[in-house]
Structure 1
């Protein structure tokens, strides 16, 4: 089914976030190229510059208003403090008289404090002005909260849209990757990239917190410098040390995050493999070995996860210690400055609020780094997938055949899955319209490869394959495959009704046509016995047997009405009696069609017009059954060994020397 999903052109809009040099050898697990955080987010968010500008504008306005709040709270504090001090002096006296009295009494501390605030002797606390400042602060905080809420909503929407589009691009990419990519990787590892990694990217793209944090740090720093350069110097003197240590820890965390995502993919692949093959596991009593393998993968994921979390987690206690130290230093030095008149009490209060705003994002840097690095590591794995070379594009002006007669010719075709392992070497073959061609031979001889090349699941290294005289390399893949029906040994049915599965290759077929195809494939009898009949939903509950599932795939081929038919061990899962019925149905299905039959049961191909015997990628013998039996060559020996005829003598090796490393 991987090949079926690759139908269609390559002109769909895809997110071109591929990183240069991200190449992965088939079947190998290599670390993705080390893109920087800026490069990763630039590739993801670059196309949405307008949204980013909106996020930045809302963030700047919201942070500016929230940063202005402590100023008015400090003014309110100074007003209350000034009112309390004013009660120490008689009403009606002037400020000058009040200062002279303090100077005469030698109370320099109080004199310095009074000089920093607006004290009106005997007035008391002016609650109207206090209320005025508090209302302004409240309005500023309320508007800032609304703006930051809008910013968070905008960036969350943007992030989810980017991730949604990224899923679409990955799906589109998977549809255009060659079959070689899927053959060289566990399915679970690929699925992990589409699910786990993109999910981690979604979390990493929730940038409202780090963007707002950076703006808050900058705004708070400016206001603190305005209030007291000395206190600001005390605060920031320890920040470079914290940032240096955090940077080193972040780099180590990044490596651990990449390792964790890789281990997650491997564990996902193992679980998917064991779940789909649990019957085989039970049959061979391999539960203990599989459990041990799971524990190994799980422990490896545990180690990488613990390493990533511990390294990033070290940043938080470190920043908390620095924050607490700064708070104590500011409080002590702030009190000394108040008593010396260097700053007002409200100024110290505002400064402490700003220091809290400044230190809060610093304290959250561990969480921010952990989320960001996880997103970056996952982005690299997804970029690695998006950067995989696609199958060659269909021609801009493809060859189109209005009708297909079924004349197939292989001309000196050579192909290798691996550079050092030939599978087909200079294969030449001519199949006339309407002929049934059977392909037999040992495993690894190149039988299935021949069909894969015909369907353009793979491209030949050299030579040509023609259909009715037209080179299939010049045809549109979707149109080519639409003319070819295939019944595989490996049955594939999706979770849907039996009728839907039969109509998969011809979704516009009427129900009567579905039933007609089912009868021709001997499906109708057992389907009628089911409670829901053709509306029975197929899933993992095994309501039908493996042989019955294979019969449904035969009915699917009947209904598709292809011009060329490929049967790859299509009766391998049925009993002998059912096989006899299928052979009759196949004879009807093959009528007027060019058919390729790949078979190990030689009894199923005796009526073939042409039998090709393949060994090590070459056709070593060809002819009909009677002719090949008379020549007493490889086919005759295979037939004798399979059916125990006297020619075998019980000593002949039926399959010769198979190219075990090649695919067949």
Structure 2
């Protein structure tokens, strides 16, 4: 999967400009709604018909009032009987008109709700497909709070826009227009009274909505920042308490929340006053005072009759409520636009590419099934994309890892160690060059085949909310309990598991919480059970106490036997007994050789590393 898309479907880009962000949000929303545009259009049509039919009850009420008024002044029995018959007929048609209006509205909402369910399914499938093909480094670059908000919250935000807005906004636009026209048909004086307060209401609402798009986009960006910082703080609370840095550790979340609160009040404070004034202008007492009071004067002047005044007064109440619905739907539209932008950005994540097996590689090798455990990096270069442009992380790396050997990667922070090592497991692919396993480009391997060849143990052990058995057997779900136990014993974690009431059935995160060292050893047990011939280790003991480090080193000694091992190290003590050492600096190989050969070299970083080890 190359991850390439047509320009028509390419994701919108923004650079922090909230007006541009609002524009991008609208484009993303249009793109996202494309698969359900047909049902949405049909929902609008039925909503429009429902709005047109809504005038019928008011016409019938007017006629009914006139009939009753004329009937009350008649004294003849035959005339009264005729009036009663006409009243029954008008009431019947009134019920029919209401029923037709409600039926059309109901069917329209059913259609748009079905469209909403269809869109949810499409979005979920797109997100799953995109995330499943995203490089693992994509998850490292984003907090779980950001990913969770996009997958859960943003998908739900679209519900109102798809299931309700097409019908409700259509009704809200057509119904007041039709009713206002009918009020003018009854009498133009009454028509003017029915819309007398609309200019005030619309003017105040327009003033408040003037910068709604950019402000909503900014609000969503700030909310996402608050969500991300909150998740980071909660996930790290154990470490925070252990090291007594609560005030410092939660400052990122506190600052994000404070900034959001300040922004929200500065934005919404003036809107509260404007909203109160606009709603007061179209409140029931004000509208009734104007329409009933003004209508009474017109009745006294003989211009109109009482039923006409009452009907136009009801119309004056309906028109502002429809406009309020439009305002609410406009807010939902802004919210949905921001959500759509996040969803589209996730669905257009960089995808792991697949090499073409019919094309010879740059080195002249033809892709073929994995034939050995040898790992080769051939002219590998890689750059990170930042706001200021690409930043080179690796440049023309050429190394070979022989089967059954342990190779250590050392170098200062930011030298590219983790980037280089994790390319074997396709955390990211090189911009140029190749990573080969047994002569086969890793991009030509199916995911399941790749992870039968490569396993890894990183500083931050990644466990899922499932039983300990399922966590250890994640790569081999068919493994027996005996095999799981054997791996757990080799990882020096079995005794801890036996102490738990439910043993292997203990659910991590629900039945128990594990220490960092226990989580790391379960991760090692998983790698032992997987028994992949190639292993990547990223300073697996770095975040644990000395006692736990000894147990983890014992577990690792079982794990690395007869494997092709690449170790990311930050101290000379962590790589004692390795076969080869690679010193990285600025994305390049500064020195390479056995530890003894590097001792005899003049490499500055290796000298400082060995000096620190000797002093320790």
TM-score (norm 2): 0.84
Residue 435 of structure 2 corresponds to residue 465 of structure 1: yes
Paired residues in the alignment total 602
- Give how far 1:68 is off: 0.7
Match of residue 414, structure 1, among 381, 384, 397: 381
How big is each residue's C-alpha offset from its partner over 1:434-479, in whole Å with a ceiling of 9 and x where there is no partner?
Answer: 3222223333333222212333323334443333333445555664
Match of 1:660 in 2: none
CA distance in 2, matches of 1:620, 1:556: 34
CA distance in 2, matches of 1:42, 1:227: 41
CA distance in 2, matches of 1:41, 1:215: 24
Residue 347 of structure 2 corresponds to residue 377 of structure 1: no
Match of 2:592 in 1: 622
Residue 182 of structure 2 corresponds to residue 194 of structure 1: no
How big is each residue's C-alpha offset from its partner over 1:67-91, in whole Å with a ceiling of 9 and x where there is no partner?
Answer: 211222222222221122224xxx5
Match of residue 537, structure 1, among 500, 507, 510: 507
Match of 2:182 in 1: 223
CA distance in 1, matches of 2:175, 2:20: 34
CA distance in 1, matches of 2:20, 2:345: 7
Classify 1:180/1:129 alpha carbon distance in 2 versus 1 (closer, same or farther; 3 Å). Answer: same
Counterpart secondary structure, 2:380 = strand
CA distance in 1, matches of 2:111, 2:94: 26
Match of residue 88, structure 2, among 128, 131, 134: 131
Residue 426 of structure 2 corresponds to residue 456 of structure 1: yes
CA distance in 2, matches of 1:152, 1:12: 37
Whether contact under 8 Å (2:136, 2:428) holds in the other structure is yes
Classify 1:44/1:354 alpha carbon distance in 2 versus 1 (closer, same or farther; 3 Å). Answer: farther
Whether contact under 8 Å (1:416, 1:424) holds in the other structure is yes
Counterpart secondary structure, 2:435 = strand
Counterpart secondary structure, 1:570 = coil
CA distance in 1, matches of 2:228, 2:558: 42
Classify 1:12/1:471 alpha carbon distance in 2 versus 1 (closer, same or farther; 3 Å). Answer: closer
Match of 1:595 in 2: 565
Classify 1:152/1:413 alpha carbon distance in 2 versus 1 (closer, same or farther; 3 Å). Answer: closer
Residue 482 of structure 2 corresponds to residue 516 of structure 1: no
Residue 274 of structure 2 corresponds to residue 314 of structure 1: yes
Match of residue 498, structure 1, among 465, 468, 479: 468
Match of 2:351 in 1: 391
CA distance in 2, matches of 1:506, 1:378: 37
Match of 2:312 in 1: 351
Classify 1:624/1:218 alpha carbon distance in 2 versus 1 (closer, same or farther; 3 Å). Answer: same
Counterpart secondary structure, 1:608 = coil
Classify 1:459/1:215 alpha carbon distance in 2 versus 1 (closer, same or farther; 3 Å). Answer: same
Whether contact under 8 Å (1:487, 1:557) holds in the other structure is yes
Unaligned runs of 5+ residues in structure 1 are: 1-8, 93-119, 645-649, 655-664
TM-score (norm 1): 0.78
- Give how far 1:286 is off: 3.4
Match of residue 570, structure 1, among 540, 550, 555: 540
Match of 2:44 in 1: 56
Whether contact under 8 Å (2:172, 2:326) holds in the other structure is no
Classify 1:550/1:320 alpha carbon distance in 2 versus 1 (closer, same or farther; 3 Å). Answer: same
Classify 1:303/1:268 alpha carbon distance in 2 versus 1 (closer, same or farther; 3 Å). Answer: same
CA distance in 1, matches of 2:391, 2:55: 69
CA distance in 2, matches of 1:173, 1:79: 66
The 5 A counterparts of 1:471-490 are 471-476=441-446, 479-490=449-460
Match of 2:322 in 1: 361
Match of residue 526, structure 1, among 496, 510, 514: 496
CA distance in 2, matches of 1:430, 1:320: 77
CA distance in 1, matches of 2:51, 2:428: 57
Classify 1:358/1:470 alpha carbon distance in 2 versus 1 (closer, same or farther; 3 Å). Answer: same
CA distance in 1, matches of 2:98, 2:536: 72
Classify 1:498/1:151 alpha carbon distance in 2 versus 1 (closer, same or farther; 3 Å). Answer: same
Classify 1:513/1:167 alpha carbon distance in 2 versus 1 (closer, same or farther; 3 Å). Answer: same
Residue 235 of structure 2 corresponds to residue 247 of structure 1: no
How big is each residue's C-alpha offset from its partner over 1:166-207, in whole Å with a ceiling of 9 and x where there is no partner?
Answer: 344334434444556544444423433333333333234431
CA distance in 2, matches of 1:583, 1:288: 34
- Give how far 1:492 is off: 1.4
Counterpart secondary structure, 1:504 = coil
CA distance in 1, matches of 2:143, 2:425: 23
CA distance in 1, matches of 2:462, 2:48: 55
Match of 2:257 in 1: 298
Match of 2:407 in 1: 437
Match of residue 82, structure 1, among 70, 74, 79: 70
Residue 393 of structure 2 corresponds to residue 405 of structure 1: no
Residue 116 of structure 2 corresponds to residue 159 of structure 1: yes
Classify 1:316/1:380 alpha carbon distance in 2 versus 1 (closer, same or farther; 3 Å). Answer: farther
How big is each residue's C-alpha offset from its partner over 1:382-436, in whole Å with a ceiling of 9 and x where there is no partner?
Answer: 4454455x23532454886433412222234333436686543433212222322
CA distance in 1, matches of 2:18, 2:60: 57
Match of 2:245 in 1: 286
CA distance in 2, matches of 1:403, 1:454: 13
Whether contact under 8 Å (1:456, 1:477) holds in the other structure is no
Counterpart secondary structure, 2:22 = coil
Match of residue 263, structure 1, among 215, 222, 247: 222
CA distance in 2, matches of 1:511, 1:60: 63
- Give how far 1:268 is off: 1.0
Match of 2:23 in 1: 35
Counterpart secondary structure, 2:478 = coil
Counterpart secondary structure, 1:466 = strand
Match of 1:169 in 2: 126
How big is each residue's C-alpha offset from its partner over 1:557-577, in whole Å with a ceiling of 9 and x where there is no partner?
Answer: 112121311122234456667
The RMSD of aligned alpha carbons is 3.9
- Give how far 1:531 is off: 2.1
Whether contact under 8 Å (1:439, 1:596) holds in the other structure is yes
CA distance in 1, matches of 2:545, 2:406: 23
Whether contact under 8 Å (2:28, 2:337) holds in the other structure is yes
- More deviation, 494-503/345-354: 345-354
Classify 1:401/1:508 alpha carbon distance in 2 versus 1 (closer, same or farther; 3 Å). Answer: farther
CA distance in 2, matches of 1:557, 1:44: 40
Whether contact under 8 Å (1:197, 1:261) holds in the other structure is no
Match of 2:172 in 1: 213
Counterpart secondary structure, 2:474 = helix
Match of residue 144, structure 1, among 78, 83, 101: 101
CA distance in 2, matches of 1:541, 1:12: 44
- Give how far 1:601 is off: 5.0
